[in-house]
Amino acid sequence: MASPLLTGKMIDPTSDIGEDVDESTAPTCYTCGKKIMQEPNHRVVSWVDEGAVEHLHFCDDECREDWSGRRPR
């Protein structure tokens, strides 16, 4: 599968946070650890690392602002 960066088609990392997501498959807030289930204020930070797109999920702006800005390794 071609990278979205090469095809020009970006994939919305929040697109799978819909009605069919249950707690076992939902992303976890990087700051507080809460499972993100249909949160209207859900935030995602994305970056490219060695050709792969990485994401951190946050349940709201407050958790996003509390994040130190350091990416996991």
- pLDDT score of 5: 47
- pLDDT score of 13: 53
Beta strands in the chain (DSSP E): 43-49, 52-58
- Contact assessment for residue 16 and residue 37, using Cβ atoms and an 8 Å cutoff: no
- pLDDT score of 64: 94
Using CA atoms, how far residue 21 sits from 26, 36, 37, 38, in Å, is 6, 10, 7, 8
The mean pLDDT of the chain is 79
Position of tokens 């993100």?
36
- pLDDT score of 46: 92
- pLDDT score of 17: 54
What is the residue extent of each domain of the chain?
4-66
Calpha distance 29→34 (Å, rounded)? 5
Residues in the chain with pLDDT values less than 50: 1-7
